[in-house]
Amino acid sequence: MRILLIGYGKMGQTIERLAKAKGHDIVGTLTVDDAHTLSSYTSEQVDVAIEFTSPDAAVENIITCFKNNIPVVCGTTGWLQHLPLVKEKCQELKGSLLYASNFSVGVNLFFHFNEYVAQKMQQHPNYNVAVKEIHHVHKLDQPSGTALSIADGIIKHYPSKKGWINDKTEEPSILGVESEREGEVVGTHIVKYTSENDTFELHHVAHTREGFASGAILAAEWMPGRQGVFGMNDLLQL
């Protein structure tokens, strides 16, 4: 499979190494300096693009891929306020997008069980629920996209919760999502339910970036021939 990497930071470099090990071809690696060349790539050269850039670049990159009939796998977070526009353009241009805040298979199973636990725990109001995420100091957005997906999964099952705040809170109608930036931490996410009697946690710790990169490659392999907007739930059939 011919893969175009849009973004060539640590994640892009890891994807390149693992994709080559699986026998895929990397037809281009676009950095900030040559991002303008994206429009020159077409479906005759590229089977799928994998996009890990920045929130202010992702939407334009995705739409350019739609225009050039290139399926795109996007792992950039922080741009979802523009998702309605992206879905509209995807339908208009018959494009193909798989977006995930996190491509790790373990994290996506975490999302699945997070919703199941929230559905059960909301029946027990003596437990307070909170989210915490810890990442490396280079991560630009906070909360992390993964933490926001976790928060959405909780709020979906808590009628009393009206939203979230990026901080600790004692306000029962608001979900607290605490962020920490520490060293080179790959990614840690914790959902904590606390009562006077005990504490119950869901806890995921990423040890390397390879889990994210492997999931992104798996998504890329799944994409050709599909049309529409997809997520990891579609790929994993959760």
Which residues are CB-neighbours of 98 under 8 A, at least 6 positions away?
71, 72, 73, 74, 219, 222, 223, 229, 230, 231, 232, 234, 235
* List 112, 139, 157, 192, catalytic entry: 139
29: helix, coil or strand? strand
204 is catalytic: no
Report the DSSP pairing between strands 187-194 and 199-206: antiparallel
How far is the C-alpha of 150 from the C-alpha of 133, rounded, in Å? 10
Q: Could you say which of 24, 132, 135, 161 is catalytic?
A: 135
Q: What element of type H or E holds 200?
A: strand 199-206
Classify the C-alpha dihedral 23-24-28-30 as positive or negative: negative
- Answer yes or no: 135 catalytic: yes
Q: Are 7 and 52 in contact (CB under 8 A)?
A: yes
- Whether residue 177 contacts residue 166, with contact meaning beta carbons closer than 8 Å, is answered with yes
Residues with a known catalytic role: 135, 139
